[in-house]
Amino acid sequence: MISLQKELRFLVETHLRFIYDEQSYPDLDHAQLARKLIKIVELDEQCLKPAVHESLWDEQDVLVITYGDSIKKEGEPPLDTLNNFFNKHLADTVNGVHILPFFPYSSDDGFSVIDYTQVNDGLGDWGDIEEIASNFDLMADLVVNHCSSRSRWFDNFKQCKEPGKNYFFECDPSADTSDVVRPRTSPLLREVETLEGKKYVWCTFSHDQVDLNFANPDVLCEMIQIIKLYLDRGVKIFRMDAVAFVWKELGTPCIHHPKTHELVRLMRTLIEHHSPRAIIITETNVPNHENLSYFGNANEAHAVYNFSLPPLLLNALITGSSAHLKAWQMSMPPAQEGTFYFNFIASHDGIGLRPAEGLLQDQEIDTLINTMQSFGARISWRAAQGGLNKAYEINVTLFDALQGTTKGPDKWQIQRFLCAHGIMLALEGIPAIYIHSLVATNNYQEGVELTASNRTINRYKWDADELETQLATEHTHHAKVFEQLKRLISIRRGQQAFHPNATQFTLHLGDQLFGFWRQSIRRDQSIFCIYNVTDDTVTIPLSSINLISLNKWVDLVSGQEYTDLHLDLVLEPYQFVWLTNKIAC
């Protein structure tokens, strides 16, 4: 019988032989490198059996996305302030928190990491991170594609010494890079003066974010050491930032390279043999079919961001038509056993438009952009083929994005906003709510002017006392949204039919409504989720929903019972129902 250690060595070596193929790396000792990686994660003496195709999650799982300093209090480390806020207001509401990069950084609000091994002293220290991890499932960013130009590695690169000398991807400026897929409009290559002369380094995102060279196995070893540190500090969920761009090869688009997928599989193998209940989520803001590829054969990412949901849901609510949202949902395969969709409708970044490509027509995207701009949104751009620039994302807070429709602002902002979250909370997958959606933050236009970054519009830093006052004052929209969202989350967490992998079928109720049916894995609970996505009252016969007449149906949201299935269901603008045959105990 093969021991678990031998099986692990075989798996790791198999990954490595694909990544560092013998034709390109004839002198590489794959077995020795495998042993080194296993030793880094301290699996050389003992490792654990990972769960195979097992759900490590259920309907109780709900996360909040936040920066470490989204809430600040004078004289207090922001991570302490954040922990106090979560323990006071959300301990019984959510069980997970994604703290966006909390490391020393030079730009991009944390995603240009100077030192992966330290906590930004402006936020707190590792003790604060471990305290949060003891109270909530902690999700952290593994900024895998690039690091800061102010990092020690890049300083060493310029001085031609280790560690760092060969850590960054270099490219001849005369090389043909026309096929390279870019998420930005800045020049791809950055000229750098080194002790060995002028060099050109690859910068997918910005010239302060220099791409790491995973073709050098030493870079892989460094990243595995970082993973081990995060595991030791209590990280349970790894968000692999911008992972799609990790492996570069001239003559290809330099996105979704087969070796990129193999790197994800290798990292998963090492992580899950250390912590079988740890989870990997890939962040790939790309068209839908490309995004789904990171599930692999249920052996790659445990979860993928459901990137097409935000633009399609926003389109449905401002146009009053669910046609595209419904068509997309019908095309989405159920997540394979042992995987799930990570659902979100707002984040620290903008509302991505690439995931809407092929799902919305160009004219519809233009309408979406124009409507959002009328609501105060900014637009970020990317370089496209042919030297053209295309809209990459819409920068806006979700609360202000939903202040009206294509006809302009109206009185239904809060109802529309809650409807959007009602859809996300009920869909197949695990929901994650951005902190500024949770408390209904408005556009931070002053911040954009201060930073000259469009994304700052959705990255306001609340004063803790000011936020507490707003949430304690019943008539504020912050308090109204906060309490209603907490209530909806609590309802969701009590329903087995909302398990992330429970059955889901799309309902066909006309374009004014968006609906789907969820059924628990044990098949003893059904929930019919029906949403009015218009600013009109919509009436449909209950008989059209195919409710089983032998059951008593109750709306989980309002508590209303439906005993006579020959009557009509009347939904006010943006009202929704969760009709169930079984009330959770």
Q: For the chain, what percent of residues have pLDDT higher than 70?
A: 99
Q: Please identify every residue annotated as catalytic.
A: 241
Dihedral angle, C-alpha 491, 496, 498, 502, nearest 10 °: 180
Helix axes 30-40, 217-232, angle to 10 degrees: 20
pLDDT value for 31: 97
Q: Six-digit token pair at 223?
A: 């990243």
Q: Six-digit token pair at 205?
A: 């995102």
Length, in residues, of the chain? 585
pLDDT value for 387: 67
User: Phi and psi dihedrals of 435, rounded to 5?
Assistant: -55, -35
- In this predicted structure, the answer to whether residue 324 has a pLDDT above a threshold of 60 is yes
Average pLDDT over the chain, rounded to an integer: 96
β-strands 96-99, 209-211 pairing: unpaired
Q: What is the average pLDDT across 387-394?
A: 86
CB 8 within 8 A of CB 43: yes
Cα–Cα dist 460/202, whole Å: 31
- In this predicted structure, the answer to whether residue 517 has a pLDDT above a threshold of 70 is yes
Beta bridge partner(s), residue 199:
192
pLDDT value for 46: 87
List pLDDT tens digits, range 80-138. 999 999 999 999 999 999 999 999 999 999 999 999 999 999 999 999 999 999 999 99
pLDDT value for 186: 92
- In this predicted structure, the answer to whether residue 2 has a pLDDT above a threshold of 80 is no
- In this predicted structure, the answer to whether residue 232 has a pLDDT above a threshold of 50 is yes
List pLDDT tens digits, range 481-516. 999 999 999 999 999 999 999 999 999 999 999 999
The pLDDT confidence band at residue 18, using thresholds 50, 70 and 90, is very high
Question: Within a 10 A sphere around the Cβ of 446, how many other Cβ atoms?
Answer: 11
Cα–Cα dist 511/326, whole Å: 8
Q: Considering only CA atoms, give the Rg of the chain.
A: 24
For 51-55, 99-103, 581-585, which range has the lowest pLDDT when averaged over its residues? 581-585
Q: What is the average pLDDT across 247-267?
A: 97
List pLDDT tens digits, range 427-464. 999 999 999 999 999 999 999 999 999 999 999 999 99
Cα–Cα dist 171/175, whole Å: 7
> Angle at Cα 324 formed by Cα 418 and Cα 375, nearest 5°?
50
Cα–Cα dist 155/188, whole Å: 20
Q: What is the average pLDDT across 285-297?
A: 93
Tell me which residue of 19, 411, 79 sits closest to 219, measured CA to CA.
Answer: 19
β-strands 568-571, 538-541 pairing: antiparallel
* Matching residue, tokens 């600040």: 72
In a 10 Å sphere around its CB, with 0-12 CB exposed, 13-18 middle and 19+ buried, how is residue 548 labelled?
exposed
- In this predicted structure, the answer to whether residue 292 has a pLDDT above a threshold of 60 is yes
pLDDT value for 389: 84
* 3 state SS for 193-229: EECCEEEEEECCCECCEEEECCCCHHHHHHHHHHHHH
* Matching residue, tokens 């950055």: 190
Cα–Cα dist 163/155, whole Å: 10
Q: What residue type is 557 in one-letter code?
A: V
Q: Six-digit token pair at 109?
A: 């609000």
The pLDDT confidence band at residue 585, using thresholds 50, 70 and 90, is very low
pTM over 0.85: yes
Tell me which residue of 350, 440, 451 sits closest to 403, measured CA to CA.
Answer: 440
- In this predicted structure, the answer to whether residue 37 has a pLDDT above a threshold of 50 is yes
Tell me which residue of 424, 425, 409 sits closest to 535, measured CA to CA.
Answer: 409
Element (H, E) at 153: helix 152-159
pLDDT value for 379: 96
β-strands 561-562, 538-541 pairing: unpaired
Q: What residue type is 153 in one-letter code?
A: W
* Matching residue, tokens 């789907």: 516
pLDDT value for 1: 43
The runs of H, that is alpha helices, within 388-519 are 398-401, 413-426, 435-438, 445-451, 464-472, 477-493
**Number of H-type helices and E-type strands within the chain:** 17, 27
